[in-house]
């Protein structure tokens, strides 16, 4: 065999096969297994992309280049092609440290432009490592670079060795760990966003190993998956979860729990039958268990997984889609496979408190999921502000460090026992599930169709109000509702809650009335109210009830500015709208003004006909004396109420009923005003 095959860059380069490569190391380099040679694993990241955009020939050209560069570094280099875009090579250690840099530097320009990059892991070839062990370690070192941006070389050193050994340990010791009880089923509470109460838990695996101490799932789950052992772990975790549920059940503190299933569980065993038999051994009912499968496991077009999940579903298990938002074709999966709850990944929750765009992405995601008839659960909630936003966008459930980190069984028991003391859980669950079905973005719900609403700032203001013994409480509302409250003069939601819970306002009285009617009739009820300067029409519809509490969907369907009413406009309205004849005079009984109906009554063309004149000037009365005396008495402070009299109107004598009062200004009588109604032609007696 020509071990220097790539010593001649001019010759067409070729790779060794894997077998030939291993033999080469084994036979020819064994005498040098003292560190004089280095085994490398090179992964060309971006090769697929290059093939796609530039064509396969260009891809091959880039490959050739890489090979020639390695061959050019040392006449002793030997290369084998591994996976589609992976190579193993061996070179003298003295050349190893620069190889990654040189390969990348010498990539052709078109390859660099397309983002091609060589990532290289290396390991010293030392006893007692065999060739395959060397390649495995080099490849491992290379894999650690996958997510490292810009980094292209990693040597297998002591630090990596620890990680590497741990992975090997996990695979070799799983059976022992199960037998010795090192696997634990921890739990993280899942809360209802509206109440902050625990409604269920998610079971998360932990491994308390003899050699490495405490291991987290990312240190063993991927490795067990790689070695097709994950189902063993999962079945043990499920067994533990059932055992713990029994203990909680005996203490009347059980809550439903969720288990994580790997895509491989469906391929490696009859997971459904195993789970059922464990559950029946412990007497755990189906409605107490939900299954979590990741989005990506179901989007690979895997019939096995889809069929398996359907089997659980058909048997009555609740199915959660895990990690939504981290994979691809999520919408496709949701349309074809029915999930009950979608767990929205932490990456979509991060920063919603500070980033408007992140917030609207999450809001739309929640809305879309709800429209498809599924519940939403946000993962990785870490602070109060995030929780508030979840409430505003109508996400039903949440999980995260803000409430509780995953905790060992004993701590879960304490939490649940305490919680079970003061809640009627079953009833509460149904109540909040019904509320959770409402889509706060557009007010629709899976079973509440046909709600129409005017829009305000793009969305209708929508809230869910609870009427209970303490008055009216705002359970949740969307951002449009929130803004409406600001516009009405409330500083924030708490301000509004305080206002409504005082229970005194007229708004409350109207709302309570409408709520009663809505409950009685089962139909939506409208009511109107004014707060500050805003005039609103709103509707209430009963959506859920439990003992002593009723939840209503509250939609604000129209919002207007109330007209500005000043005393002046009020007075004009009264004067002109009443149909009576009004007039007013100064202290000398001279006309200062009159309303239109007064002028019309007498047939005057305008105020000019009367201003500054007295009754005597007008020549209205045959006998002026009684009229003058009446008015003088009024100017002395008396009131004359509804006194019958006569007057001459357009040549006709008519009966009238008149009233007159003094006009005060600063405590002094400055004039009088009066009004009268015509009651018909004059009759004697």
Interface positions with ligand C2E (CB under 6 A): 188, 204-205, 216-218, 221, 230, 234, 237, 260, 262, 322-323, 346, 379-382, 399-401, 406
Q: How far apart are the first and last CA of the chain?
A: 145
Partner that binds at residue 217, options ligand C2E, Ca ion, none, CB closer than 5 to 8 Å by kind: ligand C2E
- Tally helices (H) and strands (E) across the chain: 26, 24
How far apart are CB 275 and ligand C2E at their closest, in Å?
12
User: Whose CA is closest to 464, among 431, 417, 487?
Assistant: 431
Our CB check for Ca ion shows the closer of 234 and 322 to be: 322
Our CB check for Ca ion shows the closer of 116 and 190 to be: 190
Partner that binds at residue 38, options Ca ion, ligand C2E, none, CB closer than 5 to 8 Å by kind: none
Q: Which tokens belong to 643?
A: 């006194």
How far apart are CB 226 and ligand C2E at their closest, in Å?
13
User: Whose CA is closest to 81, among 137, 29, 13?
Assistant: 13
Q: What is the DSSP letter of 347?
A: H
Helix (H, G, I), strand (E, B) or coil at 46: coil
Torsion of CA 517, 521, 526, 530, to 10 degrees: 10
Residue 631 interacting with Ca ion (CB under 5 A): no
Distances (CA, A) of 551 to 156, 437, 480, 519: 61, 12, 20, 10
Q: Which of 200, 292, 466, 524 binds Ca ion (CB under 5 A)?
A: 292
Q: What is the DSSP letter of 26?
A: I
Centroid of chain to Cα 519? 30
**Vertex 227 angle, CA 221 and 228, to 5°:** 85
How far apart are CB 401 and ligand C2E at their closest, in Å?
4
Partner that binds at residue 382, options ligand C2E, Ca ion, none, CB closer than 5 to 8 Å by kind: ligand C2E
Q: Which DSSP string corresponds to 626-684?
A: HHHHHHHHHHTT--EEEEEEEEEETTEEEEEEEEEEEEEETTEEEEEEEEEEEEEE---
Q: Which of 209, 260, 376, 581 binds Ca ion (CB under 5 A)?
A: 260
How far apart are CB 168 and ligand C2E at their closest, in Å?
20
**577: number of Cβ within 10 Å:** 10
User: Whose CA is closest to 267, among 294, 299, 307, 236?
Assistant: 307
x/- letters, 302..341, toward Ca ion (CB under 5 A): --------------------xx------------------
Helix (H, G, I), strand (E, B) or coil at 195: coil
Partner that binds at residue 221, options Ca ion, ligand C2E, none, CB closer than 5 to 8 Å by kind: ligand C2E
Our CB check for ligand C2E shows the closer of 297 and 478 to be: 297
Our CB check for ligand C2E shows the closer of 346 and 590 to be: 346
Our CB check for ligand C2E shows the closer of 230 and 555 to be: 230
Our CB check for ligand C2E shows the closer of 183 and 536 to be: 183
Asked if 408 contacts 423 with a C-beta cutoff of 8 angstroms, the reply is no
- 337 φ, ψ to 5°? -105, 130
How far apart are CB 368 and Ca ion at their closest, in Å?
19
Our CB check for ligand C2E shows the closer of 203 and 511 to be: 203
Query: Could you give the CA distance from residue 508 to residue 499 in angstroms, rounded to a whole number?
Result: 9
Our CB check for ligand C2E shows the closer of 326 and 537 to be: 326
Residue 85 interacting with Ca ion (CB under 5 A): no
Our CB check for ligand C2E shows the closer of 114 and 215 to be: 215
Partner that binds at residue 204, options Ca ion, ligand C2E, none, CB closer than 5 to 8 Å by kind: ligand C2E
**50: number of Cβ within 10 Å:** 23
Partner that binds at residue 544, options ligand C2E, Ca ion, none, CB closer than 5 to 8 Å by kind: none
How far apart are CB 295 and ligand C2E at their closest, in Å?
11
Q: Tokens 């490795």 sit at which residue? A: 223
Our CB check for ligand C2E shows the closer of 199 and 634 to be: 199
Query: Could you give the CA distance from residue 681 to residue 674 in angstroms, rounded to a whole number?
Result: 21
Our CB check for ligand C2E shows the closer of 378 and 507 to be: 378
Query: Could you give the CA distance from residue 524 to residue 654 in angstroms, rounded to a whole number?
Result: 55
Partner that binds at residue 262, options ligand C2E, Ca ion, none, CB closer than 5 to 8 Å by kind: ligand C2E
Partner that binds at residue 429, options Ca ion, ligand C2E, none, CB closer than 5 to 8 Å by kind: none
Centroid of chain to Cα 437? 14
Our CB check for ligand C2E shows the closer of 99 and 377 to be: 377
Partner that binds at residue 524, options ligand C2E, Ca ion, none, CB closer than 5 to 8 Å by kind: none
Our CB check for Ca ion shows the closer of 296 and 596 to be: 296
How far apart are CB 145 and Ca ion at their closest, in Å?
26
Q: Which DSSP string corresponds to 301-340?
A: --HHHHHHHHHHHHTT-EEEEEEETSSS-HHHHHHHS--S
Our CB check for ligand C2E shows the closer of 124 and 323 to be: 323
141: enclosing H helix or E strand: helix 131-143
Q: Which tokens belong to 592?
A: 């200062």
How far apart are CB 259 and ligand C2E at their closest, in Å?
7
Query: Could you give the CA distance from residue 593 to residue 577 in angstroms, rounded to a whole number?
Result: 16
Residue 212, phi-psi category: left (phi > 0), alpha (psi -120 to 50), beta (remainder) = alpha
508: enclosing H helix or E strand: helix 506-521
Query: Could you give the CA distance from residue 221 to residue 238 in angstroms, rounded to a whole number?
Result: 15
Partner that binds at residue 67, options Ca ion, ligand C2E, none, CB closer than 5 to 8 Å by kind: none
How far apart are CB 299 and Ca ion at their closest, in Å?
15
Residue 51 interacting with Ca ion (CB under 5 A): no
How far apart are CB 241 and ligand C2E at their closest, in Å?
9
x/- letters, 518..557, toward Ca ion (CB under 5 A): ----------------------------------------
Partner that binds at residue 205, options Ca ion, ligand C2E, none, CB closer than 5 to 8 Å by kind: ligand C2E
How far apart are CB 253 and ligand C2E at their closest, in Å?
22
Residues counted in the chain: 685
User: Whose CA is closest to 69, among 25, 116, 6?
Assistant: 6
Residue count, binding to Ca ion (CB under 5 A): 5
How far apart are CB 335 and ligand C2E at their closest, in Å?
23
Residues forming the site for Ca ion (CB under 5 A): 260, 292, 322-323, 379
């Amino acid at each position: 065999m020509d071990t220097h095959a790539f010593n001649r860059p001019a010759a067409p380069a070729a790779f060794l096969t894997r077998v030939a490569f291993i033999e080469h190391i084994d036979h020819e380099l064994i005498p040098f297994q003292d560190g004089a040679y280095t085994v490398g694993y090179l992964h060309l990241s971006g090769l697929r992309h290059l093939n796609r955009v530039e064509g396969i020939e260009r891809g091959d050209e880039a490959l050739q280049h890489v090979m020639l560069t390695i061959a050019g570094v040392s006449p002793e280099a030997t290369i084998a092609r591994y996976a589609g875009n992976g190579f193993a090579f061996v070179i003298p250690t003295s050349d190893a440290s620069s190889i990654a840099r040189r390969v990348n530097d010498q990539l052709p320009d078109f390859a660099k432009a397309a983002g091609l990059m060589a990532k290289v892991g290396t390991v010293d070839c030392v006893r007692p490592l065999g060739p395959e062990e060397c390649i495995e370690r080099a490849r491992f070192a290379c894999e650690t670079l996958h997510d490292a941006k810009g980094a292209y070389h990693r040597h297998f050193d002591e630090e990596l060795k620890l990680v590497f050994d741990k992975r090997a340990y996990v695979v070799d010791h799983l059976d022992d760990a199960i037998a010795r009880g090192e696997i634990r089923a921890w739990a993280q509470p899942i809360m209802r966003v509206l109440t902050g109460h625990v409604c269920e838990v998610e079971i998360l695996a932990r491994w308390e190993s003899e050699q490495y101490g405490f291991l987290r799932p990312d240190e063993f789950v991927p490795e067990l998956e790689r070695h097709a052992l994950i189902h063993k772990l999962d079945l043990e975790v499920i067994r533990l979860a059932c055992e713990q549920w029994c203990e909680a059940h005996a203490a009347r503190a059980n809550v439903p729990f969720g288990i994580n299933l790997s895509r491989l569980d469906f391929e490696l065993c009859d997971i459904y039958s195993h789970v059922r038999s464990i559950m029946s051994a412990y007497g755990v009912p189906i409605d107490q268990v939900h299954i979590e499968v990741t989005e990506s496991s179901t989007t690979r077009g895997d019939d096995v997984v889809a069929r398996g999940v359907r089997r659980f579903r058909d048997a009555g298990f609740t199915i959660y889609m895990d990690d939504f938002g981290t994979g691809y074709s999520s919408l496709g999966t949701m349309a074809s496979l029915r999930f009950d709850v979608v767990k929205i990944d932490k990456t979509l929750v991060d920063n919603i408190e500070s980033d408007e765009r992140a917030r609207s992405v999450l809001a739309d995601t929640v809305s879309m999921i709800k429209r498809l008839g599924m519940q939403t659960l946000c993962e990785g909630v870490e602070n109060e502000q995030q929780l508030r936003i979840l409430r505003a966008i109508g996400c039903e459930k949440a999980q995260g460090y803000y409430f509780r980190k995953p905790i060992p069984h004993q701590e879960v028991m304490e939490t649940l026992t305490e919680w079970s003391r003061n809640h009627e859980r079953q009833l509460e669950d149904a109540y909040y599930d019904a509320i959770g079905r409402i889509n706060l973005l557009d007010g629709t719900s899976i079973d509440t169709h046909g709600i129409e609403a005017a829009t305000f700032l793009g969305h209708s203001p929508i809230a869910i109000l609870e009427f209970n013994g303490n008055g009216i409480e705002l359970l949740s509302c969307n951002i449009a509702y929130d803004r409406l409250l600001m516009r009405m003069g409330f500083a924030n939601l708490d301000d509004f809650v305080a206002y409504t819970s005082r229970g005194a306002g007229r708004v409350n009285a109207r709302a309570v009335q409408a709520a009663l009617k809505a409950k009685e009739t089962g139909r939506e009820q409208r009511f109107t109210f004014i707060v500050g300067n805003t005039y609103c029409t709103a509707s209430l519809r009963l959506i859920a009830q439990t003992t002593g509490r009723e939840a209503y969907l509250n939609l604000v369907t129209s919002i207007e500015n109330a007209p500005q009413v000043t005393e002046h406009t009020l007075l004009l309205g009264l004067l002109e709208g009443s149909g009576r004849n009004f007039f007013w005079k100064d202290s000398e009984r001279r006309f200062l003004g009159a309303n239109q109906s007064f002028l019309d009554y007498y047939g005057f063309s305008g105020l000019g006909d009367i201003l500054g004149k007295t009754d005597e000037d007008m020549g209205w009365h045959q006998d002026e004396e009684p009229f003058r005396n009446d008015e003088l008495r009024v100017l002395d402070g008396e009131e004359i109420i509804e006194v019958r009299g006569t007057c001459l109107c357009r040549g006709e004598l008519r009966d009238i009923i008149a009233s007159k009062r003094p006009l005060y200004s600063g405590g002094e009588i400055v004039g009088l005003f009066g009004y009268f109604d015509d009651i018909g032609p004059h009759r004697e007696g």
